[in-house]
Chain A
Amino acid sequence: MSSQGAARRSYSDVLGLAAWASVAVALYLVFFVAREADISMGGQLQRIFYFHVPAAWISYLSFAIVFLASIAYLRTASRRWDLLAHSAAEIGVVFCTLVLITGPIWARPVWGTWWQWDARLTSTLVLWLTYVGYLFIRNLSTDGARAGRLAAVIGITGFVDVPIVHFSVQWWRTLHPSGPTVSNPAADSGLGGAELAAFFASLAAFTLLFAWLLSLRTRLGRLADRVDSLAVATESRNPAEPQRVPARNPVGEAT
């Protein structure tokens, strides 16, 4: 048990070191090597692209992991998969939130608007809402083991929706040629060798960071499980003396 835990820890530490090193390299390439983009792409502001796109990639990767781990959990009922799905969903929502924040910051000066009902934007927003719902199910479920199963159902149905949402919002806007069309920022931005290097370095850094966060989050979950089982064990040993936590009363303090 402890040797296995130690092995996991050192594995996680190596990942963490690699993540920080690659983040440093990526930051250097993004801010000092990549040239300033054309003003039509936002000039200096275009550098947000190096964070925006990798964050989007990480959120899609996370949700795909949630989907696969949910299926595995429903088939095996192993807590390992449940914890993986939960961890990936949390990280995915964080990165998806970053996508939805960095996008408008870039779009405001370049497109002249914070938000466009473009297919890609709309489906990302729908995806974000779906997995926020997933996390709500985790927190609002009436008991723990059931929370995993319910969340797994949402993890599957939510991911299955992605292609349908994508096609529907794409047709929805392509069929309404009002308003400017939004092109892929990477397609015609004339990314040169230095910019591509910065982009791929950033992509690698985000992926390593994601792997590290995932290992930390699943470790946290395992430790929380151990705390729970220890608490149950002590409780059953002295059932006569339930541990009483003095309740804090914020209203009472004032009186």
Chain B
Amino acid sequence: MRPSGFLAKTSALAIKDLRVELRGRDTLPPMLAFAFTVALVLAFAVPELPATARPTKLTVALAYVEAGFLWITVLFAGLIGFARTFEVEREEGAIDALLLAPVDRSGLFIAKAAANLVFVACVEAVVIPSLALFFAIDLGAGWLPLLGVIVLVDLGFVAAGTLFAAVAAQTRSRELVLPLLALPTLVPVFIAAIELTADLFLGAAFDDMAGRGWFAILLAFDVIYGVVAALTFELALD
């Protein structure tokens, strides 16, 4: 059966990208290995503190550093993967064929972003347990809110990252341009992610976390960049 609706076509394109990855294994395994290695190296920078029942100044500072390390690892590994968003098409000269796909260009954006989302989720599935192990973090009941934070961060990260990957793909020195564009833009996402994650590492209650407004920043970024990226993606491509 041929896909006909917008959703069916978009998911067909996304599945195509994932299938290429499944057969070639060019992007995800290096991303995962990179993320794991970075997590390992960063673990050497974290000092061991005596266990305390209550958060002290030192444990609070450490929680922020650990949250920062976590998101830096995800961000860098993610950007390395995003830089390859159009690599298959570029290498095989198939970008025109991709543009001919009988779907609105925003569908193309959603398909590429969805494939990138899967990659980032895989990276997080490796990095977060590894870092929890390395840093001896016990999340307790905090894992469910953390999942919410991850989803909100990933949506904005993938939306902005996929758009900038399309822009960077058409420049010389692509690999350098992508972080140059993406990192300043992602500053709000990064700050919000660190604040929320550090709160969870310190065992904050969900209500306290939600009351601080960081979810609103993430949500605003997701919505704004989701819309802007879907609208400008086609202009960046042709």
Judged by a CB distance under 8 angstroms, whether A223 is at the interface is no
Once A136-B180, A149-B235 are accepted as A-B contacts, the answer to whether A167 and B191 lie under 8 Å apart by CB is: no
**Interface presence of A172 (CB below 8 A):** yes
11 A-B pairs with C-beta separation under 8 A: A74-B232, A126-B187, A130-B184, A142-B170, A142-B171, A154-B181, A156-B228, A160-B225, A160-B228, A168-B192, A172-B191
Residues of B within 8 A of A231 (CB): none
Besides A157-B185, A158-B185, 4 more A-B contacts (Cβ < 8 Å) are: A150-B236, A153-B236, A160-B225, A171-B214
Pairwise interchain contact B212-A152, C-beta atoms closer than 8 A: no
Query: B23 an interface residue at 8 Å Cβ cutoff?
Result: no
For the complex, is B173 an interface residue (Cβ under 8 Å from A)?
yes
Asked whether B204 is an interface residue with its Cβ less than 8 Å from the other chain, the reply is no
Q: Find the A residue at minimum CB distance from B173.
A: A140
Supposing A133-B181, A154-B181 touch, asked if A168 and B217 sit within 8 A by C-beta, the answer is yes
Q: B195 at the A/B interface (Cβ < 8 Å)?
A: yes
Q: Does B188 contact A (CB under 8 A)?
A: yes
Main secondary structure, interface of A, reads helix
Instruction: List A contacts of B213 (CB < 8 A).
Output: 171
Known contacts being A149-B235, A153-B235, is A165 close to B188, with CB within 8 Å?
yes
Chain A residues within an 8 Å CB radius of B113: none
Q: How far is the CA of A169 from the CA of B229 in the complex (A)?
A: 23
* CB-defined contacts of B167 to chain A, threshold 8 Å: 137, 150, 153-154
Which residues of chain B come closer than 8 Å to A130, judged between CB atoms?
A: 184-185
Return chain A residues, CB-CB under 8 Å to B183: 129
CB of B20 to closest CB in A, whole Å? 24
Q: B-facing mask of A144-176, CB < 8 A → 1, else 0?
A: 001001101110111011001101110110010
Interface contact A172-B184, CB-CB below 8 Å: no
Q: Tally A residues with Cβ within 8 Å of B.
A: 31
What 0/1 readout, one digit per residue, does chain B (208-238) give for beta carbons within 8 Å of chain A? 0000111001001100110011001001100
Please determine whether A171 and B217 come into contact, CB atoms closer than 8 angstroms.
Answer: yes
Bound CA–CA A125/B117 (angstroms):
29
CB-defined contacts of A154 to chain B, threshold 8 Å? 167, 181
* Bound form: Cα–Cα A161–B183 in Å: 12
Is A229 among interface residues, defined by CB-CB distance under 8 A?
Answer: no
Chain B residues near A122 (CB-CB < 8 A): 187
B160 close to chain A: CB less than 8 A: yes
Are A126 and B163 within 8 A (Cβ)? no
| Inter-chain contacts of B163 with A (CB < 8 A) | 153, 157
In the complex, which residues of chain B have a beta carbon less than 8 angstroms from the beta carbon of A165? 187-188
> Is B177 at the interface (CB under 8 A from chain A)?
yes
Q: Is B54 an interface residue (CB 8 A)?
A: no
